[in-house]
Amino acid sequence: MSAHADPHCIFCKIVAGQIPSRKVYEDDELFAFHDIHPWAPVHFLMVPKLHVASMAHVGPEHEALLGRIMALAPKLALEQGCQPYPDGGFRIVVNTGAQGGQEVHHLHVHVMGGPRPWARG
Residues with catalytic annotation?
108
| Binders in 72-91 for Zn ion, by CB under 5 A | none
Positions that interact with ligand AMP (CB under 6 A):
10, 19, 21, 33, 35-37, 95, 101-104
Shortest Cβ distance from residue 25 to ligand AMP (Å)? 14
Q: Which residues of 28-41 are buried (b: 16+ CB within 10 A; e: fewer)?
A: eebbbbebeebebb
From the list Zn ion, ligand AMP, none, pick the one residue 9 interacts with, judged by a Cβ distance below 5 to 8 Å according to partner type: Zn ion
Beta bridge partners of 31: 26, 47
From the list Zn ion, ligand AMP, none, pick the one residue 6 interacts with, judged by a Cβ distance below 5 to 8 Å according to partner type: Zn ion
Q: Which residues of 99-120 are buried (b: 16+ CB within 10 A; e: fewer)?
A: eeebeebbbbbbbbbbeeebee
Contact status: 51 vs Zn ion (CB under 5 A)? yes
